[in-house]
């Protein structure tokens, strides 16, 4: 027995340093980051921008893979079920915290099956319409809806922040506006520009050029006070609506991913957020940079789950409306 214990102790004395070196040597393989949205939106833009800098820092290729569908559930689930070896991550947005309440049979637990790594950016929302709609203010929306004018609003998909903001708009105005969900912001924006839908809550960075060119009309910013990125546009609050909406982006890893990997990836992302390329792109795009520890991002996620659960309950929102 004593001889066996000595052998086990000797093996452990070899294995522990090897394990420590393996984790400290991470990454030894290319890294995959899943974006659960279609290409072209803010989440995709932020992920690709940060991934480029992270690849330089870690010395391994970082491949971004778009996997949209089911209100981001498909892409997130693919990473939640991945091997937790530090090769798979997913960038999530508000919908990740909404789905914990909105989706009845979610194939993963947002808190238990994924690990927070880093918060990255936040984009303010604007409510915009097509010039041909004749809508220029919240009062116009209420007036048209109340005389029976058929109105519709686009969203990035069921359960996204744009969906919830649209439902809050309907609830506060007491009118009916048809929800038209898309598999991401890019196709929704394309149909808004084409006049196929009446209005949409969307990320200011993607809407700014279209508003400035007169291709879209900005009804108002969904912010508590006038935006530093669009100070000339009134807020929805100024027009009597209590609707605040934005899109944030953060990185998650499968549960079970080693602490050393999570901490190093967090450091790499935070370093990327300070790089001249990211700082310049964020400033030009109107994206507010966010950073912090994995623990702080975890606290943020839990607070967002609670906040959206209350919004869903009060507005009576379901995955079907």
209 found inside a domain:
yes
114 and 130 share a domain? no
Q: Please identify which residue in the block is written with the tokens 């992270």.
A: 54
Please state whether beta strands 246-254 and 114-129 pair in parallel, antiparallel, or not at all (unpaired).
antiparallel
Q: Are 67 and 75 in contact (CB under 8 A)?
A: yes
Burial class (CB in 10 A: 0-12, 13-18, 19+), 276: exposed
Per the CB < 8 A criterion, the answer to whether 122 and 287 are in contact is: yes
- Identify the domain boundary among 219, 239, 259: 239
**Whether 209 and 144 share a structural domain:** yes
Residues 277 and 200 both lie in one domain:
no
DSSP state of 93: -
Q: Are residues 221 and 140 in the same domain?
A: yes
How far apart CA 61 and CA 262 sit, in angstroms, is 17
Q: Does one domain contain both 152 and 234?
A: yes
Looking at residue 20, its pLDDT comes to: 44
> Helix, strand, or coil here: 269?
helix
Report if residue 5 sits inside a domain. no
Domain count, the chain: 2
Of the candidates 189, 216, 190, 221, the one whose C-alpha atom is nearest the C-alpha of residue 204 is 221
Q: 134 and 223: one domain?
A: yes
Residue-wise pLDDT for 184-225, tens only, equals 888 999 999 999 999 999 999 889 999 999 999 999 999 999
**Domain check: are 180 and 272 in the same one?**
no
pLDDT of 321: 59
191, burial (CB in 10 Å: exposed 0-12, middle 13-18, buried 19+): middle
CATH number of residue 199's parent domain? 3.40.190.10
Answer yes or no: is 113 within a domain: yes
Give the range of the structural domain holding residue 72, as residue numbers without chain letter. Answer: 36-122+246-315
Low-confidence ranges of the chain (pLDDT < 50): 1, 4-12, 14-23
Residue 12 lies in a domain: no
Asked if residue 117 belongs to a domain, the reply is yes
Picking from 239, 254, 275, the residue at the C-terminal end of a domain is 239
How far is Cα 278 from Cα 56, in angstroms, rounded to an integer? 13
Q: Quick one: pLDDT at residue 38?
A: 86
**End of a domain among 215, 239, 263?**
239
| Residues 238, 240, 242, 248, Cα dihedral to 10° | -40
Same domain for 104 and 139?
no
Q: What pLDDT, on the 0 to 100 scale, is given for residue 294?
A: 98
């Amino acid at each position: 027995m004593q001889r066996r214990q000595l052998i086990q102790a000797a093996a452990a004395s070899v294995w522990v340093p090897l394990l420590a070196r393996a984790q400290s040597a991470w990454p030894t393989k290319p890294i995959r980051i899943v974006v659960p949205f279609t290409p072209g939106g803010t989440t995709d833009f932020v992920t690709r921008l940060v991934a480029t800098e992270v690849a330089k820092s870690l010395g391994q290729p970082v491949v971004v893979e778009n996997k949209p569908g089911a209100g981001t559930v498909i892409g997130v689930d693919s990473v939640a079920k991945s091997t937790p070896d530090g090769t798979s991550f997913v960038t999530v947005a508000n919908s990740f915290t909404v789905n914990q309440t909105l989706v009845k049979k979610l194939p993963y637990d947002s808190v238990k099956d994924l690990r927070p790594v880093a918060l990255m950016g936040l984009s303010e929302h604007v409510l915009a319409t097509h010039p041909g709609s004749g809508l220029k203010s919240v009062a116009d929306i209420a007036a048209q809806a109340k005389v029976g004018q058929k109105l519709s609003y686009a969203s990035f998909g069921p359960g996204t922040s744009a969906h919830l903001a649209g439902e809050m708009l309907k609830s506060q105005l007491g009118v009916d506006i048809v929800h038209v969900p898309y598999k991401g912001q890019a196709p929704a924006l394309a149909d808004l520009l084409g006049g196929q839908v009446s209005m949409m809550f969307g990320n200011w960075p993607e809407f700014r050029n279209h508003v400035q060119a007169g291709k879209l009309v900005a009804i108002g910013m969904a912010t508590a006070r006038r935006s530093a990125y669009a100070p000339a546009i009134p807020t929805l609050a100024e027009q009597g609506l209590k609707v605040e909406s934005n899109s944030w982006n953060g990185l998650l890893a499968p549960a079970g991913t080693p602490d050393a990997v999570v901490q190093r990836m967090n450091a790499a992302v935070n370093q990327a957020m300070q790089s001249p390329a990211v700082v310049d792109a964020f400033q030009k795009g109107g994206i507010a940079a966010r950073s912090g520890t994995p623990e702080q991002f975890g606290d943020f996620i839990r607070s967002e789950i609670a906040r959206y659960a209350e919004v869903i309950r009060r507005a009576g929102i379901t995955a079907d409306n």
